[in-house]
Amino acid sequence: MPKGAALLDYHPSPPRSPPLAVPEDSKRHVSHYSVAPAYSCMTNFQPRKMRSSCQSAHFLRVALRLLPSKPAIRSKIVSASSSSPLSEETLSTSVSSNQITDFSLEQTDPAVLSRCEDLRYQVRGHRLDNPPNNTWNSSVITCSTPISHSTCQISGDTPASAVPSIMNSSIFPKLSCLHEVVIALGSNMGDRVETFDKALNMMKKAGVQVVCHAGLYESAPAYVTDQPKFLNSAVRARTNLDPRALLGVLKDIERSLGRIVNGVRYGPRPIDLDILFYGDVEFSDESLTLPHPRIWERPFVVAPLMDLYNSTLCDGNNIWIKRFEKAKCAWQLMGGDTQLCQDDLKRVLPIGGKLWQWSNRTYIMGILNITPDSFSDGGKYLSVQNAVAQAEALAAAGADIIDLGAQSTRPFATKLTSDEELKRLIPVVDAIKKLPSMESVWLSVDTFHSEVAKEAVKHGVHMVNDVSGGHLDPEMYSTVAKLCVPYIMMHMRGDPATMLQEKNILYKNVSADVGAELCKSLSKAESSGIPAWRIVVDPGIGFSKTCEQNVQLLGDLSGFRSGLASWSLAATKMPMLLGPSRKRFLGKICELEKAEDRDIATIGAVVAGIAQGADIVRVHNVKASIDAIRVADAIFKTKGLTRSLK
């Protein structure tokens, strides 16, 4: 474990605050036929104004509309209602949405209930081969699903028999378009991070396309406080499952991951998945309330929700703008970011089986080049023996991370194959992993080859540092997603051989442009399954930038962070790595030709970066830099002066 690190073991760790549950006093009665085993979602969903109906006339009309190709069943339905005032003429008459109101079963005529029960059992046994239009529009959704979701209680008190096995989302009717949803995740039992990973993969398989992740937060439990801390996050996703079908999918994932359906309310749980928002829908019945009713009282929900905001989502959408403003207001009333870094709520990143809280101090990444042609120390550590000796020296000097690179990324460097890179790298990794002094140090692999990343992690490396930001290997994102390790995503245009070509060094505003371009990489990475809480951003000092542009970028890191907000606020809060060490622009400023003479200049650049919120600094000479870094931390980090920049 790195020296002085604020780390928390996330393995056997149970519960968080209450599941995002529907309070008893907010539950409404819903139509008795909404739980029909055959077609449970014959329900009218209306954006902004959702209504439930228990009117038998409406149910029969929907049933007839759903079964136009089944004359035998249709005739049975009509005959079943023949003894009542509900004639077929009545059924074909349109009912205004204003006439559809909520009421309890107790208010319904027992004779009508009995006829509807008979009807439901006649319809239930017949499955439609071609369900009619299941479309979401401004007025109504008509859904006919073979599984009842209204019996799945958000509170976690659902009987096991009532929770269907629905991981195969093909059994659900699909709406005609995708809808934006926000889903909260919580866990405080077992390997909480691994459980999140599994839940996200299962959501993807079930037709829930996650496009953006919030950060990862550890929080003290609420309501029932005598239990372990929770991990919390949230995702923005798109799905064409209707709200009840989505609820059913999430409940089935919970059950598959070990959640006890009759567990203690607000008690420990391996996973808790809750729908916070479904488009602009407002809806309430006994199984589901949208938006979730207890969002605004829970910091561990509001913090991840804030992370999911972006200007694109809210552009022209008044509902999402209002939600963000409400979240922002709630967050400020709770204390804002000042409540982070406390025991009750911490933003963390999983690495090496621990939870890393990076904001209390600056972390030092020592550079170890296993190359013959690096610009600063090429050839010095090419042998395994020399590389291991240098790794020990970096660790002894105070490095928290050692970055191992077997491929030079200096301008115009020769590009190696992944096999050539691995030949240099793996023997050094294996030798370093045997050293007792390395137990408290994380290892990073500096590569843009996905195959190298995969093999290095297999041999014990903790994170992947990709100078290309995923652009030089189309398999990098999917590979890192499967590896479940932190991913350092750097900005670069072109490759080391072309990055200084004229087309690659043209910027309108270097800080804003670099942030905006990195957003595109973040979008692709998250869509590929790399959650925001595993990403570290790097503005790429020295890569595809002139000396003047490097100075401008280093002087406006807050502008770079602001540029990341066009993807999500979570991106602006990701750990930021800064790597100015011995770069050519420092030599130009200080008139120093030799790279190894630029360590003092490097310290100046590093301190400037720390003052603007850098969280990790990548340096060649850890021993020369560490005291300046500690002083900068004492000035900026302990007083929280950099938090407002994130």
Residues marked active site are found at 583, 618
Distances, alpha carbon 421 to alpha carbons 371, 406, 425, in Å? 9, 5, 6
Residue 641 sits at φ, ψ, to 5 deg, of -70, -20
As a whole number of Å, the end-to-end CA separation of the chain is 26
Residue carrying the six token digits 């925001």: 532
Q: Give, in degrees to the nearest 5, the angle at Cα 143 between 141 and 146.
A: 165
Going by C-alpha positions, the residue among 385, 311, 368, 303 that lies closest to residue 338 is 303
The string of DSSP codes covering 3-44 is TT-EEEE-SS----S--S---GGG-----GGGG-SS-TT---
| Cβ 400 vs Cβ 353: under 8 Å | no
Give 543: exposed, middle or buried? Use CB within 10 Å, 0-12, 13-18, 19+: buried
Strands 616-619 and 363-369: parallel
Going by C-alpha positions, the residue among 541, 561, 543, 535 that lies closest to residue 601 is 541
Instruction: State which H helix or E strand residue 95 sits in.
Output: none
Q: Which residues contact 112 (CB under 8 A, 6 or more apart)?
A: 56, 84
Q: Which residues contact 631 (CB under 8 A, 6 or more apart)?
A: 607
Residue 420 sits at φ, ψ, to 5 deg, of -65, -40
Helix (H/G/I), strand (E/B), else coil: 177: coil
Residues 298/299/303/305 CA torsion (nearest 10 deg): 10
Q: Which residues contact 256 (CB under 8 A, 6 or more apart)?
A: 167, 202
Instruction: State which H helix or E strand residue 301 sits in.
Output: helix 299-307
DSSP code at position 339: G
Within 10 angstroms of residue 256's Cβ, the number of other Cβ atoms is 14
Residue carrying the six token digits 């105070």: 398
Q: Which residues contact 278 (CB under 8 A, 6 or more apart)?
A: 179, 181, 243, 246, 290
Distances, alpha carbon 24 to alpha carbons 35, 154, 155, 371, in Å? 19, 11, 10, 65
Q: For the stretch 504-513, what's the b/e string if a residue is b when 16 or more beta carbons lie within 10 angstroms of its beta carbon? A: bbebeebbbb
Instruction: Compute CA 576 distance to the chain's CA centroid, rounded to the nearest angstrom.
Output: 18
Distances, alpha carbon 208 to alpha carbons 200, 202, 252, 473, in Å? 9, 9, 13, 26
